[in-house]
Amino acid sequence: MINNPTTKSTLSNPTQSVFHSLMASSANARLTKHGNLSIKTHITARSSEATFFVSDSEIGKPHIPVAEYQKITGIQDAYIAQQDMLQIDGYIGPEFRFRVACRLLVERSHANIAAMQQQLYFPPDKDFQPQFTVIITPDLPAQGYPGQRLIAVDLEHYTTRVLGSDYFGESKKGGLRMWNHWIYRQGGLALHAGCKVFPDLVSGEELALIIGLSGTGKTTTTFRQQRSSLPVQDDFCALFPDGKVYASENGCFAKTFGLDAHDEPTIYRALTQPNSWLENVSVQEDGNVDFMDGGYTTNGRGTFQLDAIPHREPSDLPRVKYIFLLNRNFNIIPAVARLNPQQASLYFMLGETTGTSAGGKAEAGKALRVPGTNPFFTMDDALQANRFHELINNIPDLEVYLLNTGRVGGHEDDARSKKVKIKHSSAIIEAILDHTIHWKKDPLFGYEIAAVLPGFEDEELLDPFELYKHQGRKEEYEHIARRLIQERERYLENFSALSNELNPKNRTQNKNTSRIK
């Protein structure tokens, strides 16, 4: 059992109405016309540059020595002894076998963090005994660390200590990062993925996992309805042998910038009701919420409990049938590609996408490779690719697709480019479910692209080569393709722990084979 630091006072597991009362008079809080609060935080994104694992040895991740961590622990505990604190208890995961009891301690002056976390935890019961602890002191700077912030991850004791950040994401990811580690040790793999189910006349339900970096359309794709689908989860799921899936959270932490009631009605309705919380979302003088205002940050966020929306209960989920790998790209990646298991594992490892404000200024707008699109994996990233490959190769009838949620032909400022809109991705998913796509092999990349997709309004989104050819940019397409092929090979060669099946040195060099080149 985890022992709490000594505090000046501790208020344990208050109600949401108490949290609202605690924050209503804050100078950083604005009341919306819907009755919920929007909190303006000093830190507007995850502090990845200030995140360190506690270790005296090289672990392939940024780390601090145990002695330094013990010093930090002493400083934070001494600070907490003089503070009024909030304690929030709950579970990551609803199912007895794969749930983990978590405890959050946070300064009472930042009650919004506690309130938002309470919405994501599954509630504690009489058997609750904390296994994970997250301790957050936003008003205590971490001297000598980037931006005077520190997220120290102690996996030996399953404790994460946060100093100097008032961004809620550090609480949420503090628990889920440790859950990543715990799930791997149980023989599964935590995936940075949304989850939804589709009704099926034969099997009853078909489950899809939507894997993607924060801000690339994961939540949007999860909550967008196709064939009466219901969302289960928007951020993290655990995949186990035979395709068994377990959920992690009882709520949603949604990105809000650009949120439109027409394109994303479920999320919009959930965030414009009294029980939701908003973070860094603009509120006008009359209480109207302006989701289009990114003047302070484009990483505005909001939380709500799953009970606020139609959803599928997160227990006893069916085996996974579909996996969608999201790639927010801006050149030659098609709107959809069908992948074989080896290709799927390699694209999973490559984790290609474009960074968003969710990762801070260092990532926003930049081409990234984040293995598994999961910046919260705690060990050598090759291990998650190997585990993913092992798992998907033993799931009968699994289908894996790459979805581009960005543009084809260039960035937004290039008039020749075309946007892959929400309606395009939704139409593609519906066609996959209905088995109406006719596929053809891409001669350069080996995956299959859509040759025929009935009723789809723009075929050049399906075959980027055709867009480039029609615009007289064939040489540009070929140049980008050659560069991608070379960069991918070089990148994968950096991971010596990749299995023989995935290591580029062990794969054929025949350009016509169905592999990533």
What is the per-residue DSSP string for 37-49? EEE--S--S--GG
Question: pLDDT tens digits, residue range 475-511?
Answer: 999 999 999 999 999 999 999 999 999 987 775 443 4
Question: pLDDT tens digits, residue range 262-296?
Answer: 989 999 999 999 999 999 999 999 999 999 999 99
pLDDT of amino acid 362: 57
| Calpha distance 216→404 (Å, rounded) | 9
- Mean pLDDT, the chain, whole residue set: 93
Q: Is the pLDDT of residue 142 over 90?
A: yes
Place of tokens 């100078």: 27
Q: Is the pLDDT of residue 515 over 50?
A: no
355 or 64: which leads in pLDDT: 64
230 or 361: which leads in pLDDT: 230
The pTM for the full model equals 0.92
Q: Is the pLDDT of residue 512 over 70?
A: no
Residue 246 neighbours by CB under 8 Å, 6+ apart: 93, 95, 98, 188, 237, 238, 240, 317
Contact 382, 495 (CB under 8 A): yes
Domains of the chain as residue ranges with CATH: 9-189 (3.40.449.10), 193-249+314-506 (3.90.228.20), 256-307 (2.170.8.10)
Q: Is the pLDDT of residue 174 over 90?
A: yes
Reported as type and span, the H/E element at residue 171 is helix 169-185
CA dihedral 94, 246, 101, 378 (to 10 degrees): -160
pLDDT of amino acid 285: 96
- State the pLDDT confidence band at 2, using cuts at 50, 70 and 90: low
Give the lowest-confidence range in 19-33, 150-164, 194-208, 291-305: 194-208
Q: What is the residue-wise DSSP string for 52-99?
A: EEE-SS--SS-EE-HHHHHHHHHHHHHHHTTSEEEEEEEEESSSGGG-
Q: Is the pLDDT of residue 468 over 60?
A: yes
pLDDT of amino acid 4: 84
Q: What is the mean pLDDT of residues 373-393?
A: 96
| Calpha distance 270→274 (Å, rounded) | 9
Q: What is the mean pLDDT of residues 450-476?
A: 96
Place of tokens 């990114």: 294
213 or 339: which leads in pLDDT: 339
pLDDT of amino acid 355: 55
**How many C-beta atoms lie closer than 10 Å to residue 253's C-beta?**
24
pLDDT of amino acid 516: 44
